[in-house]
Amino acid sequence: MKTPWASIARIEVGGAHSGTGFLIGPGYVVTALHVVGTPEGRPSGKIKLFFNLDAEYEDGSPVFETLATIVDGLWDHGHDFAVLQCTDPPPRSKPLPHTARCQQYQKFMSPGFALENPKGFTGNGQISSENEPGNTAGPVIGLLFDFGCGILMRGHSGAPVVVDGRVVGLLRTAYLDRQEKTLGGLVQATSIHHVLQCCQEHSPTLLRYRPDITWPAPNPHKAPVVADRKQEFQDFERMITGQSKQRVLLLQGTSGTGKSIVVEEFDRYARSLGIVVAAADLKGAPTTEQIFTSLLVSSGGDVFRRAESEQGARRLFTLAEELETLERPILLVFDNWQQSPDDLRKWMKNVVFPRLDTMPHISVLITGHEVPEPGSASWKEFAVIHQLESIPSTEDWYEYYQRKDPTIPITKDNIESLLLTNEGVPPSVISALLSTFGRKKLALGFMGPAR
């Protein structure tokens, strides 16, 4: 991974190099509280930040300087962090993505401005503990740097701890000898979870940063072959191409109304546009483990890497986190919802749906005899419901077969006659009758000249 130096700040307080910070939102930087302020949250002096854009972009950009202040309420002495607001946000610098989860033995990198190399120094190592006892306010993340002893780490406090491209914490305390050099490469870090929690309580919109989503363009040449489902398809296409706020499509219908055909066609169309599709057919009341396996396999096997190693409720929690941190469009598909297990229903209702406002890249397609009822829930504004009924239109059936298989010699008169004698019959039955009729007519056509 290339070090995102343009998003990492060298911090001076009162004119002296003090530590490191990094962008967590547009114009907002997090660092260790002891780098910039007193235990009471008061600044220790004038705070100045320096962002080296050239170190990342290599285009000759000058170092960007800005003043900063500690945001009122967004600091914590026990967890040793402070959120700073830049007077002038650094240009072309992107907030670093973050996650509240890490695991023991995972590899990490930590770029910052330790005195070992004040122009920029990146240490590497592994997570030694997720819950190491801390001096104040509870457990911290334990780190073991590869460099071991003898490194001047002063000035690195506040640097990000990055795992798989996402920040999991910030440096706070290193074990030092009398020369203030590292002992064994042992360092402690504050979990980014505490920063996120504090920001959520005091300023909920602060960390709702997400890079621009690259949405696919609609492709009329690959439009699904589905009779009479034009409005359903239009709503579906708009949501998977980023054109609509409504990103939960609920299709309800009795047996034979073509729900599974719609799912197959819509799934195929989404994949043709390059969208990741995680799908599960709930027919037969599968277990949560079976549902997760289906989601994992159908999505390609490399989307939910962390959740794959978990079990039970912890797996669903981790899966939700991974969904939230994805930066590309993904479609969740559940067919036969009426047979979904309780834990899946609770997960969707209490975890996924409430987070839709923070997951603009997530779309959901659910079909069944029954579907989730948004009612007055917060996610109601994201949902659109369609009731699938019989298809009585001759024109729709004719158009359907012209697109599905133009070689079958079915006329509008044939279709109209069939519909009149089978009024109210489910679409699946009509489709089967038309296919059978068309094949017989085709066979008779071939046999005609031989007589």
Taking only the tens place, the pLDDT of each residue in 371-426 is 999 888 878 989 999 999 888 888 888 888 888 777 777 888 888 888 888 887 88
Q: How far, in Å, CA of 242 to CA of 236, rounded?
A: 10
User: b/e per residue, 207-222, with b = 16+ CB within 10 A?
Assistant: bebbeeeebeebeeee
Class (C level, CATH) for 220-387: alpha beta
Q: How far, in Å, CA of 159 to CA of 127, rounded?
A: 15
CB atoms within 10 A of CB 397: 24
**Cα distances (angstroms) measured from residue 339 to each of 88, 259, 312, 426:** 54, 14, 19, 21
pLDDT: which is higher, 212 or 323:
323
pTM: 0.57
User: CB of 33 within 8 A of CB of 41?
Assistant: yes
Least confident of 15-29, 413-427, 436-450: 436-450
Residue count of the chain, please give it: 451
Tell me which amino acid residue 324 is.
Answer: E
User: CB of 153 within 8 A of CB of 174?
Assistant: yes
> What average pLDDT does the segment 161-187 reach?
86
- The listed range with the strongest mean pLDDT (31-45, 254-268, 308-322, 422-436) is 31-45
> What average pLDDT does the segment 259-280 reach?
93
- Does 109 score more than 50 pLDDT? yes
Q: How far, in Å, CA of 35 to CA of 20, rounded?
A: 8
Q: Which residue has the tokens 């073991």?
A: 144
Question: What single string gives the DSSP state of each residue in 92-153?
Answer: T--PPPB-S---TT-EEEEEE--TT-TT-EEEEEEEEEEEE--SSSS-EEEEEETT-SS-B-
Q: Which of 195, 365, 385, 184 is nearest to 281 (CA)?
A: 365
What confidence tier does 448 reach under pLDDT thresholds 50, 70, 90?
very low
Output the pLDDT for position 209. 53
CA torsion through residues 21, 24, 27, 30, sign: negative
Q: Which of 74, 46, 32, 44 is nearest to 159 (CA)?
A: 32
Q: Which residue has the tokens 């060298």?
A: 10
What confidence tier does 444 reach under pLDDT thresholds 50, 70, 90?
low
Give the list of residues 6+ apart from residue 341 with CB closer than 8 angstroms, or none: 285, 286, 287, 288, 291
> What average pLDDT does the segment 137-149 reach?
87
Task: Look up residue 359 and give its DSSP letter.
Answer: -
- What CATH number does domain 1-209 carry, 2.170.120.12, 2.60.40.10, 3.30.390.30, 2.40.10.120? 2.40.10.120
Output the pLDDT for position 449. 38
Q: Which of 78, 79, 75, 91 is nearest to 23 (CA)?
A: 91
CB atoms within 10 A of CB 63: 12
Output the pLDDT for position 364. 97
User: CB of 166 within 8 A of CB of 107?
Assistant: no
Domain residue spans of the chain:
1-209, 220-387, 394-450
User: Please, how many CA atoms are within 13 Å of residue 105, restricted to the half-sphere of its CB?
Assistant: 0
- Does 10 score more than 80 pLDDT? yes
- Does 433 score more than 70 pLDDT? yes
User: CB of 385 within 8 A of CB of 371?
Assistant: yes
Q: How far, in Å, CA of 443 to CA of 437, rounded?
A: 10
